[in-house]
Structure 1
C-alpha cells in the first residue's frame, strides 16, 4: 500500500492566510446570543397590548388549551410573529454579510442596493394584476423582484466611468430604489391597492402567521446552510480576488452561488416583513468588530445578532405607544441612518 502524502488534504483545500480572528469571543456570542434570544422571545411573547404572565406563555406552548383566549393569542398571534422576526433578522444579517464579503463593499445591504425595492415593486404588480396568488407564489415573485433590483443597480454601477466603487454602488442603489418605489406607489394609486401595500412600505412583523413561516422556513434554512458552506470561500474573496484565485477558488462560481443565496434570504424576508432596511448593513460590521474577519464565524454570529436586533425592535415597537405599534423599519432606521452616514464619511476619507 502506498503512503498518503502529508499534504494531500491541503491540495484539495489550501489553508487560509493568517487572519485576525477572535474565536473565544465568537463562541461567547453564539452561546450567549442563543440564550439571550430565548429570553428575548419569551419577553416578546409575554409583553404587548395585553401583558401575559410567563407561566401562561409556558403553558400555551407546551400544554395548549384552545378554549383559553390567552393561549390563542400566544399561539396564533405572538409566537409566529416573534419566530418570524427572528428568522427574518437572521436572513437579512447573513445576506448583508455575504454581500459585503463578496463585493468587499462595506456599505452593501439588501435595502441599500435595490433588492427590497425590487421585491416591493413586483409585489405591487402581483396585487394589481394577480390578486389571488398564493403566498408561495408571492415568495417566488419576491425573489424575481429582488433579482431585478440588484441587476439594475449593478448594471448602472458597471456603466459608470472608473468602475464599480462602493460609493457609486450605493448611489446607484439609491436611484434604483427611488425609481422602483415611485413605480410601486404609482401602481398602488392607479389600481387602488395602497392599503394592501401599506404593510410593505412600513415594514413590520404584525402580519406574520404560521402559514408564512412554514412557507419560507425551508428556503431560509437551506440558504443559511448554504451560506455556512460558502463561508470559507467568502473569507478568501473578502481578502481580494487575486488572493482567492491564487488559492484555487473559482471566484465567478462563488459569486454566483453567493448572489443566489442573497436573493433567497432577502426575497423571502421582504415577502414576510416588507421593506425593513439596515439590518444587513449594521450587523455584519458589528460582528466583524467583535469576532474578526473570518466568515466561518461572521455568518453564524451575524445570524444570532440579526435575530436579536429584530426581536428587540419588534418588542420596542409594541411598547413605545401601546396599544398602537411603531413600524420596526422606522425604529431600526434610527440606528441605521447614522451608521450609514458614518460609513459614507469613512469611505470618502479612504478614497
Structure 2
C-alpha cells in the first residue's frame, strides 16, 4: 500500500508538471514567470490573453477528459474482461456521433455549445440500448455486452455516414467534432460536462469493490454475496457518464481508454480500488502530453490531440495484441 501511495503521489507530481507545460508551451512559448504573471496579476497583455483565455481552459478540459477516459477505459475492460476493450465498446462514441449529426441535419445546430447536449444524450441512449440488448433474465454478461455494443455501433456508424453524405453542412460541422480535440473549447464547455463526470467518478469508486469480485467470474461473485446485476448497472452508468461527458465536450479521442489502463495495471496490479485512480491520473497526463506534442510539432499550426493519440496509440495497440498472442491464423 505504501508503494502504491508513493507511486500515485509521483504521478500527481508528474501531472502538475505536465499542466504547467500545457499552459506554457504552444505556437508561442511563454516563460513560467509570464504564466505566473498572467494568472496572478494580469494586465491584458497578449501573453495574459493567451494563458487565461486559451490555454487554461484547454488544459482544464484536458485534465477532465483524460481522467474520464482513463477511468472509463479501466471500467470497460473490467466489466467485459477484455484487455482490448475501450469505452467505445458500449456504443457511447457512435451514439454521440449520430446525435451530433442528427442535430445538425434536422435542427441546423452548428455551434459546440449547441450540440454538446445532443452528443451527451446520444451517448446515454446508445449505452442504455446496448445494456438492454445485452441483458437476459440473469443480467448482462461480458460477451453479450460486447456483441450488443458492436451491433449498435455498426448501426449508428451507418446512419452517420448516410446523413453526412446527404448534407454538406452536416459533413463540415461534423468533421470538426469528429477529429477529437481540445482547441476551441472554453470554460463554459467544462462547466457543462463537469457535473456528469463527477457523478461518474463517484459511481466508479463505488463500483471498484464489486468489479474485483466480478473478475473472479459471475458465479463466484454471486457465491460471495455480490449483486452482479446491480454492479453491472452501476458500472455501465459510470462508463456512460464519464465517456459521454468527455466525448460530448472533446469529440471521440481514441486510445486513451485502451492504453492507459494497461500502463496503470502494470503499476498497481488488478485491484480496481487502485487501478481506477491510477488510470484517471495517467489518462490526464497522457492526454495533455499528446496535446502539447500536437502544438509543438506543427508550429505555427497544430495537430488535434485525437490525431496525435492515434499516432501514439496504434503502435501500442499492435504491440499489445502481439504480446498477448490474441490473434492467431
Tell me the TM-score normalised to structure 1 length: 0.82
Partner of residue 254 from structure 2, selected from 274, 277, 283 = 277
Unaligned runs of 5+ in 1: 1-22
Match of 1:188 among 164, 179, 182: 164
Task: Answer yes or no: is the 8 Å Cα contact 1:113–1:170 preserved in 2.
Answer: no
Pick from 18, 22, 37: which aligns with 2:15? 37
Match of 1:266 among 226, 238, 243: 243
Mark the CA change 1:133 to 1:248 in structure 2 (over 3 Å): closer, same or farther: farther
Q: Distance in 1 between matches of 2:130 and 2:326?
A: 20
1:330 to 294, 302, 307: 307
The alpha-carbon deviation at position 227 of structure 1 amounts to 1.0
State the alpha-carbon separation in 2 of the partners of residues 335 and 25 from structure 1. Answer: 29
Q: Rg larger in 1 or in 2? A: 1
Of 219, 222, 234, which residue of structure 1 is paired with 2:196? 219
TM-score (structure 2 length as normaliser): 0.88
State how far apart, in whole Å, the 2-side matches of 1:147 and 1:243 are. Answer: 30
Label 1:349 to 1:187 Cα distance change in 2 as closer, same or farther (>3 A). Answer: closer
What value does the CA root-mean-square deviation take over the aligned residues? 2.9
> Match for 2:285 among 282, 295, 308?
308
Note the C-alpha offset of 1:156: 7.8
Where does the alignment leave 5 or more consecutive residues of structure 2 unmatched? none
Structure 2 Cα separation of the partners of residues 200 and 25 of structure 1: 41
Instruction: Please name the residue that 2:175 is paired with.
Output: 198
Q: Residue in 2 aligned with 1:286?
A: 263
Q: What displacement does 1:79 show?
A: 0.7
Partner of 2:26: 48
Give the stretch that moved more between structures: 138-147 or 96-105.
138-147
Distance 1:340 1:166, change over 3 A: farther
Q: Deviations over 1:60-116 (max 9, x none)?
A: 122233x22211111111111111011101101111111111221212212355321
1:301 CA drift (Å):
0.6
Please give the alpha-carbon distance, in whole angstroms, between the structure 2 residues aligned to 1:313 and 1:189. Answer: 31
Counterpart Cα distance in 2 of 1:322 and 1:276: 22
- Aligned residue pairs: how many? 323
